[in-house]
Amino acid sequence: MILEALNYAATWPLTSAGHRPFIRSSVSLWARANRCRAAWAEHERRTKAAILATAEGCRQRRTVVVLGSGLLRDVPVMELSRLFDTVVLVDLVHLASVRGWLTMKGLKNVRLIERDLSGLDALLAGQPLEPLAFLRQVPYLDLVVSANLLSQIGIGASRRLNGHAEEETFVRQVIAAHAEGLAQIAAETCLVTDVGYTVMDRTGGRHETVDLMHGVDPGSARESWDWPVVPFGEESRDYQVVHHVIAH
């Protein structure tokens, strides 16, 4: 708890006022990732491998933008920094622990951008839903990575819209807008996302399955795997929550 409090306090002055409410959830994710390090290792390895496979296939390697860079545990930032002239990391919050790690590694070609990638505010205001339109302004863009972000856009929108008459419709729209935005980018793209989860017991019995895409087709999977986001013992001794992940 002490480390979490320190990370929170150090991140607060580094974060814009509008995004400070999201620091707590980012710190909670950081703490869970540390507790679940062993259970998450294979997912993180495969995510990095999928991103690198796309990066190494780029004909030009000038600028790469990573959407949902988060804790950088699943982003091969060291390798991207060597491959590309500029690496842009985009997320709602960049924790002080992440900033400190980047400084320690001396990655001088890495840039951080705070941004809400959901587009939900625009949708609620009746404005065009183009959450990735800002990428058109990025010069020499050769690769865009969406790193385990798409499902989180839907989850975040559901929380904000809880009880709203158009909740399900709006959640589908923000998920679809992200997927469509990636498809329209002239640069190479790599999408890694969990598309659903299942609550399982120790015998392998399935107790609940949830579609995190809310019916939106995220595209054909080049590869897929399971990720025990909540392993046995994290929240329950008898149940785990396993997410299904695709990459393309």
End-to-end C-alpha distance for the chain, whole angstroms: 37
pLDDT of 235 above 90: yes
Collapsing DSSP to helix, strand or coil, 64 comes out as: strand
Claim: this prediction has a pTM higher than 0.85: yes
The mean predicted confidence, pLDDT, of the chain is 96
Q: Is there a contact between 8 and 49 (Cβ–Cβ < 8 Å)?
A: no
Q: Comparing C-alpha atoms, which of 135, 138, 150, 147 is closest to residue 76?
A: 147
Write down the pLDDT at residue 165: 85
pLDDT of 197 above 90: yes
Residue 202 pLDDT level (bands cut at 50, 70, 90): very high
Tell me the average pLDDT across 15-37: 96
According to DSSP H, which parts of 13-166 are helical?
Answer: 23-35, 37-56, 77-83, 96-105, 120-124, 150-160
Tell me the average pLDDT across 186-208: 96
Burial class (CB in 10 A: 0-12, 13-18, 19+), 125: exposed
Q: Supply the CATH classification number for the domain 39-247.
A: 3.40.50
Write down the pLDDT at residue 163: 83
* Domain segments of the chain as ranges: 39-247
Q: What is the pLDDT of residues 51-110, one digit of tens each?
A: 999 999 999 999 999 999 999 999 999 999 999 999 999 999 999 999 999 999 999 999
Burial class (CB in 10 A: 0-12, 13-18, 19+), 57: exposed
Q: Is there a contact between 55 and 75 (Cβ–Cβ < 8 Å)?
A: no
Q: What is the pLDDT of residues 122-150, one digit of tens each?
A: 999 999 999 999 999 999 999 999 999 99
Write down the pLDDT at residue 20: 96
Cα separation, 3 vs 78, whole angstroms: 25
pLDDT of 118 above 90: yes
pLDDT of 1 above 90: no
Q: What is the pLDDT of residues 164-181, one digit of tens each?
A: 889 999 999 999 999 999
Q: Comparing C-alpha atoms, which of 35, 231, 22, 54 is closest to residue 147?
A: 54
Collapsing DSSP to helix, strand or coil, 36 comes out as: coil
Write down the pLDDT at residue 164: 85
User: What is the DSSP secondary structure assignment for residue 239, as one 8-state letter?
Assistant: E
